[in-house]
Amino acid sequence: MSVDLNTLKTPGPTITALTKPFWDAAAEGRLTIQHCEDRGKAIFYPRPICPHCWSKRLVWKDASGRGRLKSFSEVHKPGHAGWLPVAPYVVGLVELVEGPTMLSFILAGTRPLQIGDMLRLAPTAIGGRVLPAFKPVEPGAEEKPQ
């Protein structure tokens, strides 16, 4: 990509006190998500209660950063003008190995993307902040321990 993603004038997150740990971790290149200690499930996005059982026993845990591509789209006409300089770019639905699905920016790999591709966290500076983007795991690549 010829344009530096970090120079884009794209809308950033609207952070609250509750969601701040997610974005603080993102700035450090980590992906942290809540786990419900009653339900034993990871949840995304952050909430004050577990959406499965309404328990308040939620704790932050760093995720493995591994996931599977559930769907993707190459965006030729962005919904926000800030993205125009890098169009077409790819967004995808990432099913984290911990369970929940998040939407993210998908960096190009060496092969065309396919649904089902394994992905790994690829913290990327976009629009002046580091976001938890993802990139495809290249075939044959050794999964390094986190």
Nearer residue to other proteins within complex by CB, 24 or 143: 24
Q: Are strands 32-36 and 41-43 parallel, antiparallel or unpaired?
A: antiparallel
Binder of other proteins out of 2, 77, 144, 145 (CB under 8 A): 77
Q: How open is the CA angle 131-69-7, to the nearest 5 degrees?
A: 25
Binder of other proteins out of 42, 75, 107, 130 (CB under 8 A): 75
Sign of CA dihedral 14, 16, 19, 21: positive
Give least dist CB 37 to other proteins, A: 22
Show the binding pattern over residues 17-56: x = contacts other proteins (CB under 8 A), - = does not: --x------------------------xx-----------
Helices assigned H by DSSP within 13-141: 20-27
